[in-house]
Amino acid sequence: MQATPQPIFKRGPSLAVRLAFFSLLSLVLLVSDARFRYLEGIRSVVSVVLYPLQQAASLPGTLLTRTGEFFVTQSALYRENEQLKREALLSAPQLQRLTALEAENAQLLRLIDARPAPERKTTIAEVLYESRDPFTRKVVIDRGTSHDVHEGQAVIDNVGVVGQITRVFPFVSEVSLITDKNQSVPVQNSRSGLRSVTFGLGHDGALELRFIPVNADIQTGDVLVTSGIDGTYPAGLPVATVANIERNAAFAFARITCTPSAGVSSFNRVLVLSAPPPAAPNPLKTEPVPERPRKGASKP
Amino acid sequence: MSRSSLGDNIQDGEVLLPVRTGYILLSLVIAVVLDLVPLPGWLSWVWPDFVAVTLVYWGVYQPRRLGLFPAWLLGLLMDVADATLFGQHGLAYAALMFAAVFVHRRIQMFSLPYQMAHVLALLVAQQCIQLLVRLVDSAEFPGFQYFIASVTAAVLWPALVTALNAPLRRRPGADEV
């Protein structure tokens, strides 16, 4: 028998042991993040470290756009200006009518003693980059908790609903697009008033309406707007257009695919709507009645 | 059993300069920035994971300088940047680093074109770990274009090795009288 000699070089634990250690640590992190969301604090810290790197990474693109903007020809500017003037002129009567209608609507709501929909504050944000994760549909915008952005706020662009803020960091936040597999938006058919919910499919340019009976009143080309019953999205924002309906009598539900209205993957600037006001208490949920000492229950 | 640490610095009979920690750090920071560059649709499928390839480079050519811990930390950084599950990249990068160090002698024996095949296998295995994690977390398979990034990374491998080796070369004629 030979005694094992003293190692000449100190090496620490072997590579395989270290791999096992880090794998185990990663698994613990994965489970605690996926199931319990314990690690949001650490994420915020890391995101602050990442912020300057992100700025550096988007610098070439920004510079390119800026330079492009600088060399825009005068004729292009002139044309755009003309178009904007025309659009402003066209929308002016509509705007005036809107003001009148809003006043009338508020008065009517007061008459029937309903609460008018509160106005929401908006924040303009710029899309920094699309998340490189191919499993989800997310973008990162340049507004965070330091700009009073909170989780759950709705994000829209000039055409319709873009998504919802699902994670906030000090300077940036993540927006889950409505095409994400875990995102659903309660909608209403603007033609027939039929209410339902759109579900993301996990890839660009398509949404799905589930659990719509085969004989429901829905047609290709119908515009779906938010119904507002979830309290996240204000009512009446365009979400999608019905693109294809497959009615098969063998199944209880029709297969309906829609195209999102907003340029869900091609926008540059978006609007973050401030958090909805606290919802009215749910009358169906009764609070536990605090136990009162009963009169006859005193100890003998 | 093991060769002297000098052996790690020899490539194709050429003795490279010792690597400074600052140089390793700089290369990794540049890799992270390259990974964060915002890209339009199709380009983001083709864009390689520069952090992963750079880790493979250091694992293969300087197996003693960069251990599993830095790789794991970088993974956590990329998890936050890519909005993925916390630990997904960490697990994949730690395993990638282990594999790179494990086969570094074998890879160094081949010429650069043959090394590409090894690197491709390592990177695809790394992506498979991430895929597996997401599938367990009830995500859907995004399609085989998911693996294109590894192919481009492998194609870029010779250029990357040449670029990262360049500052480590001795200037010709430095030893002559």
Per the CB < 8 A criterion, the answer to whether B45 and B149 are in contact is yes
> What pLDDT was estimated at residue A225?
92
Quote the CA–CA distance of A210 and A258 in Å, as a whole number. Answer: 11
Closest residue in B to A203 (Cα–Cα):
B142
CATH of domain A118-277: 2.40.10.340
SS3 assignment, position B164: helix
Say whether pLDDT at B133 is over 90.
yes
Q: Which chain B residues have a beta carbon less than 8 Å from that of A174? A: 83
> Which of A19, A29, A49 minimises the CB distance to B68?
A19
pLDDT tens for chain A, 300 residues long, are 556 667 677 667 888 999 999 999 999 999 988 888 778 888 888 888 888 998 888 888 888 878 887 787 788 888 989 999 998 888 888 888 888 888 888 888 877 776 666 677 888 898 888 887 888 888 889 899 898 898 889 998 888 899 999 999 988 999 999 988 888 999 999 888 899 999 998 877 889 998 888 888 888 999 999 988 887 888 888 899 999 898 887 888 888 999 988 775 566 788 898 866 665 566 666 555 555 555 554 444
**Residue A137 contacts B where some CB pair is shorter than 8 Å:** no
> What pLDDT was estimated at residue A284?
65
CA A150, A154, A155: angle at the middle one, nearest 5?
105
When pLDDT is cut at 50, 70 and 90, the band that residue B48 belongs to is very high
* Pairing state between β A184-189 and A223-226: antiparallel
From the list A167, A169, A197, A177, the residue with the least C-alpha distance to A136 is A177
> What pLDDT was estimated at residue A33?
87
Quote the CA–CA distance of B158 and B177 in Å, as a whole number. Answer: 33
CA distances from A142 to A147, A164, A170, A270 (A): 9, 14, 10, 10
CA B69, B75, B78: angle at the middle one, nearest 5?
150
From the list A216, A222, A160, the residue with the least C-alpha distance to A190 is A222
**Residue A204 contacts B where some CB pair is shorter than 8 Å:** yes
Q: Which two tokens stand for residue B14?
A: 């050429």
Q: pLDDT of A2-15, one tens digit each?
A: 566 676 776 678 88
Quote the CA–CA distance of B30 and B167 in Å, as a whole number. Answer: 15
Quote the CA–CA distance of B145 and A261 in Å, as a whole number. Answer: 27
**CA of B110, closest CA in chain A: separation in Å?**
23
From the list B72, B158, B130, the residue with the least C-alpha distance to A22 is B72
Average pLDDT score over residue span B86-104: 94
ipTM field: 0.83
**Residue A133 contacts B where some CB pair is shorter than 8 Å:** yes
> Which of A18, A54, A167 minimises the CB distance to B36?
A54
Q: Which of residues 148-177 of B touch A (CB under 8 A)?
A: none
> What pLDDT was estimated at residue B2?
38
CA A51, A124, B39: angle at the middle one, nearest 5?
50
Say whether pLDDT at B120 is over 90.
yes
Q: Which chain A residues have a beta carbon less than 8 Å from that of B87? A: 25-30, 33
Per the CB < 8 A criterion, the answer to whether A93 and A23 are in contact is no
> What pLDDT was estimated at residue B6?
44
Closest residue in B to A59 (Cα–Cα):
B37
> What pLDDT was estimated at residue A109?
81
Q: Which of residues 220-259 of A touch B (CB under 8 A)?
A: none
> Which of A33, A50, A202 minimises the CB distance to B140?
A202
**Residue A53 contacts B where some CB pair is shorter than 8 Å:** yes
Say whether pLDDT at B28 is over 90.
yes
Mutation target vs A (from B28, B86, B96, B141; most A CBs, 10 A cutoff) = B86
Quote the CA–CA distance of A18 and B150 in Å, as a whole number. Answer: 25
From the list A262, A267, A255, the residue with the least C-alpha distance to A239 is A262
Per domain, the residue ranges of chain A are: 18-93, 118-277
From the list A124, A252, A248, A256, the residue with the least C-alpha distance to A187 is A256
> Which of A16, A50, A58 minimises the CB distance to B77?
A50
Q: Which two tokens stand for residue B164?
A: 């990262």
In chain B, what percentage of residues exceed pLDDT 70? 89
Q: Which of residues 61-90 of A touch B (CB under 8 A)?
A: 61
Q: Which two tokens stand for residue B115?
A: 């090394």
Quote the CA–CA distance of A83 and A199 in Å, as a whole number. Answer: 36
Q: What is the pTM of this model?
A: 0.78
**Residue B91 contacts A where some CB pair is shorter than 8 Å:** yes
Quote the CA–CA distance of B68 and B93 in Å, as a whole number. Answer: 8
Q: Which chain A residues have a beta carbon less than 8 Å from that of B36? A: 50, 53-54, 56-58, 129
Say whether pLDDT at B51 is over 60.
yes
